[in-house]
Amino acid sequence: MATCDSMATEYYLEPRFSSNQRYDTNINMRQTPPQANWITTVSPAANFGLRYENGELNSNFTWNQLFYTNQSELNIDEQLFGLDFKHKTERFDWAFKNSYNNRSSLNTEDTGSGILFFQTMRKQLTLAPSVTYALDELNSLAFDYSYENTKYDKNQNINTLSDYDYHQLSGTFNHMYSERDKLNATVSGSRYKAQIFNQTTFNYVSQLGWQHSFSEQLVTYISAGLNYSQATSTIPQLVPGTFLGIPVFYDPATGSPFDPNTGNLIQQQRYLDVENNKIGQVYRASIQKSFEQGSVSLIGSQTQNPTSQGLQTRTEISTNNSYAINERWTSGLTASYSTNELAGQQNSLLNRTYYSITPNINWKWTPEINLGLSYTYRQQEFQGSTQPSQGNIVQLQFNYQPQINRQVK
């Protein structure tokens, strides 16, 4: 008679429902907003997954329905799907994160592109496998790959957003120097390709990091490195010339300064291949303090990322604080300040500063129902603008997640 060991597997299905009502004085972050908006979001959702001895699989799906009381033409539906897988062996840790989101650009591009006056849908697919291998008790190697593919619904009013795909591969060596100190070294390479102007940007980053734990409650981290980028694009240019002593633009293909059918002067375009190579600094510094009833963190960073407007240097400082008033009441405060500059273009009209601050308070009404109230102030100013854009958001959040027994097989 043969026997075999069976592995216990836990399956779960968790329906969720959330809704929020918010008042936004400047949804497009314009200098002079035309009106304020009342926005209602209804979000039925569900989590599904399984857990077993060496790993787990988690998935979630959310359907957002947004209703703009003052501008019904902006009413829209969003779909968000995520799938995460983890598996652990004696030396290997495997992970695979995936997501597909179909979201409104008004909810995704407020701090990304910096300028957006119209709404369109953004479909984004993300795939991110990773593996970590433990060399011994003190050393490990981690390899990460990520792929993003983003497409925007066609909208002739929007020329600042471009479809793109993004690949990134990185390798990290981790070393535990002591019980309180951890060191790491990372090298990565990425390729960003946007349809607008046929942009292609290769980024190569190398950096060193150090984490120091003063205690279990106080942890600091610092990393610094260099970013080398190679960007190529094809941009249209008008070809200058003269006709009968008058400055005009002519058609480089025919040499004709006017349309023979209409007699109108032609302003044709030629295309010029442009290549830019840049070296920039990247860094990150953080400090986190936890205590019995909450935590405080402060983070400063500088990154260089490709965008449809060019390579962007983003410098940011942010803080995140939470405090548990009692078993049912919690409060928090988040704030950030950032500068965004196109690399090598100190006088670009797209360079901007942005900051926001959000205090919030939450109440656990029942084990299944949570209520939250928050206020956000945000301000954005483009270089050379006469005045900043300002916005205020007040939001009331309702979350309901029924408690359901899980199945074990």
Residue-level pLDDT at 32: 87
- The span from the CA of 372 to the CA of 366, in Å, is 13
In this predicted structure, the answer to whether residue 3 has a pLDDT above a threshold of 80 is: no
316 domain-assigned: yes
Number of folded domains that form the chain: 1
pLDDT tens per residue, range 247-294: 555 455 444 455 545 555 555 555 667 788 889 999 999 999 999 999
Q: Which residues pair with 275 in a beta bridge?
A: 232
Output the six-digit token pair for 27. Answer: 């949804």
pLDDT tens per residue, range 11-53: 999 999 999 999 999 988 888 888 999 999 999 999 999 999 9
Average pLDDT value for residue range 137-156: 91
DSSP letters for 253-294? TT--SB-TTT-PBP--EEEEEEEEEEEEEEEEEEEEEEETTE
Residue-level pLDDT at 25: 94
Of 384 and 288, more confident: 288
Contact assessment for residue 140 and residue 134, using Cβ atoms and an 8 Å cutoff: yes
Q: Give CA 78 to chain center in angstroms.
A: 17
Of 133 and 349, more confident: 133
Q: Residue 117: name the closest of 160, 154, 64, 69 by CA.
A: 160
10 domain-assigned: no
Average pLDDT value for residue range 232-247: 59
CA angle 185, 189, 192 (to 5 degrees): 145
1 pLDDT tier (thresholds 50, 70, 90)? very low
Contact assessment for residue 379 and residue 354, using Cβ atoms and an 8 Å cutoff: yes
Average pLDDT value for residue range 56-71: 95
252 domain-assigned: no
Residue-level pLDDT at 267: 53
330 domain-assigned: yes
- The span from the CA of 205 to the CA of 349, in Å, is 27
- The span from the CA of 334 to the CA of 356, in Å, is 8
343 pLDDT tier (thresholds 50, 70, 90)? confident
DSSP letters for 154-221? --TT--S---EEEEEEEEEEEEE-SSSEEEEEEEEEEEEEETGGGEEEEEEEEEEEEEEESSSSEEEE
pLDDT tens per residue, range 166-184: 999 999 999 999 999 999 9
Contact assessment for residue 279 and residue 174, using Cβ atoms and an 8 Å cutoff: no
124 domain-assigned: yes
- The span from the CA of 363 to the CA of 173, in Å, is 42
Supply the CATH number for residue 348's domain. 2.40.160
Residue-level pLDDT at 162: 84
Average pLDDT value for residue range 109-116: 62
Residue-level pLDDT at 266: 53
**Percent of the chain surpassing pLDDT 70:** 84
Residue-level pLDDT at 239: 53
Q: Measure Cα distances from 202 to 112, 142, 327 in Å.
A: 20, 22, 50
How many CB atoms are closer than 10 A to CB 174? 19
Residue-level pLDDT at 356: 94
Average pLDDT value for residue range 56-78: 95
Average pLDDT value for residue range 400-408: 73
pLDDT tens per residue, range 199-238: 899 999 999 999 999 999 999 999 999 999 998 887 665 5
Which three-class secondary structure state does DSSP give residue 139? Answer: strand
In this predicted structure, the answer to whether residue 143 has a pLDDT above a threshold of 50 is: yes
386 domain-assigned: yes
pLDDT tens per residue, range 280-332: 999 999 999 999 999 999 999 999 988 877 788 999 999 999 999 999 999 99
Contact assessment for residue 162 and residue 308, using Cβ atoms and an 8 Å cutoff: yes
- The span from the CA of 393 to the CA of 395, in Å, is 6
Mean of per-residue pLDDT scores for the chain: 87
C-alpha radius of gyration, the chain, whole number: 26
245 domain-assigned: no
408 pLDDT tier (thresholds 50, 70, 90)? low
How many CB atoms are closer than 10 A to CB 321? 16
Residue-level pLDDT at 244: 46
Which three-class secondary structure state does DSSP give residue 65? Answer: strand
Return the residue matching tokens 């910096």.
114
18 domain-assigned: no
Domain holding 398, by residue range, is 23-232+282-408
Q: Which residues pair with 285 in a beta bridge?
A: 222, 300
CB-count exposure of residue 260 (10 Å: 0-12, 13-18, 19+): exposed
Among 126-135, 138-147, 182-191, 231-240, which stretch is predicted with the lowest mean pLDDT? 231-240
CB-count exposure of residue 25 (10 Å: 0-12, 13-18, 19+): middle
